[in-house]
């Protein structure tokens, strides 16, 4: 645990917290330039913390790819506020590039889950000839509800106000269950494959 809400740190709901003692964390762009507060980028750590891996078993090359000189690339997108708290956006390989804007599916999912009508949700990016990728939301509703134009409009407005207008899903699909692995991680590749009419691949890790 490199970053967390550790006593006596005041908690900011939704934040990852701050780096623990001895950990240097910061946000970089793709050219490894450190970014200022409020700008989204790659979450990085300065090399040399306790219990740090020396390599990956039988895979030195993969281990080396995680570093840029003495900087460790976590593979997460995040941003840091003016008080030094870090805020998670998504995995870097999950980010959706829509019309030149980078949108983390996690922030859209978090917004939609705040609505009482939605029990669970997963967001993926689908190829689009104009937008590059369009945002697709798969939602599980409360058992007593049915999807409607009014509810869709409510979802769109809420995401626009909570996240941004560029993060509004272009499509909503109601599903009975969001596919997840045994650790509770959303299997986005499964949803994307089903949406595109492709083979979802290995499903052995699904709960």
Give 95-195's CATH code, choosing from 3.40.50.150, 2.40.50.140, 3.40.50.1820, 3.30.300.30: 3.30.300.30
What Å distances lie between residue 190 and 91, 111, 122, 173, 179, CA to CA? 16, 22, 11, 14, 7
Does residue 205 register a pLDDT over 70? Answer: no
Contacts with 173 (C-beta within 8 Å, 6 or more apart), sequence order: 136, 137, 138, 139, 195
Assign a CATH topology to domain 3-92. Answer: Luciferase; domain 3 (2.30.38)
pTM comes to 0.68
Considering only CA atoms, which of 93, 88, 177, 190 is closest in space to residue 133? 93
Taken in order 83, 88, 89, 93, the sign of the CA dihedral is: positive
Residues of the chain above pLDDT 70, percent: 98
Residues across the chain: 207
The residue among 129 and 91 whose pLDDT is bigger is: 129
- Which pLDDT value is given to residue 207? 67
Question: For the chain, what is the radius of gyration of the CA atoms?
Answer: 19
Provide the pLDDT confidence category of residue 155 given band limits of 50, 70 and 90: very high
- Domain positions in the chain are 3-92, 95-195
When pLDDT is averaged across residues 58-70 and rounded to a whole number, the result is 90
Ramachandran angles phi, psi of 35, nearest 5°: -100, 150
DSSP SS3 for 131: coil
With b for 16 or more beta-carbon neighbours within 10 A and e for fewer, the 113-146 pattern comes to: eebeebebbbbbbbeeeebebbbbbbbebeeeee
């Amino acid at each position: 645990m490199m970053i967390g809400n550790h006593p006596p740190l005041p908690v900011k709901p939704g934040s990852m917290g701050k780096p623990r003692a001895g950990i240097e964390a910061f946000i970089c762009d793709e050219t490894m330039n450190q970014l200022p507060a409020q700008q989204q980028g790659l979450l990085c750590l300065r090399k040399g913390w306790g219990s740090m891996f020396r390599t990956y078993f039988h895979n030195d090359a993969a281990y080396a790819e995680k570093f840029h000189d003495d900087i460790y690339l976590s593979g997460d997108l995040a941003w840091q506020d003016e008080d030094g708290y870090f805020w998670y956006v998504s995995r870097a390989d999950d980010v959706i590039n829509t019309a030149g804007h980078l949108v983390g599916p996690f922030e859209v999912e978090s917004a939609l889950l705040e609505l009482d009508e939605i029990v669970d949700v997963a967001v993926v990016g689908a190829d689009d000839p104009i937008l590059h990728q369009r945002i697709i939301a798969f939602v599980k509703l409360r058992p007593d509800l049915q999807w409607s134009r009014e509810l869709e409009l409510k979802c769109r407005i809420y995401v626009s106000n909570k996240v941004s207008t560029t993060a509004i899903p272009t499509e909503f699909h109601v599903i009975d269950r969001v596919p997840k692995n045994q650790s509770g991680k959303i299997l986005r590749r499964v949803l994307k494959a089903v949406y595109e009419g492709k083979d979802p691949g290995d499903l052995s890790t699904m709960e």
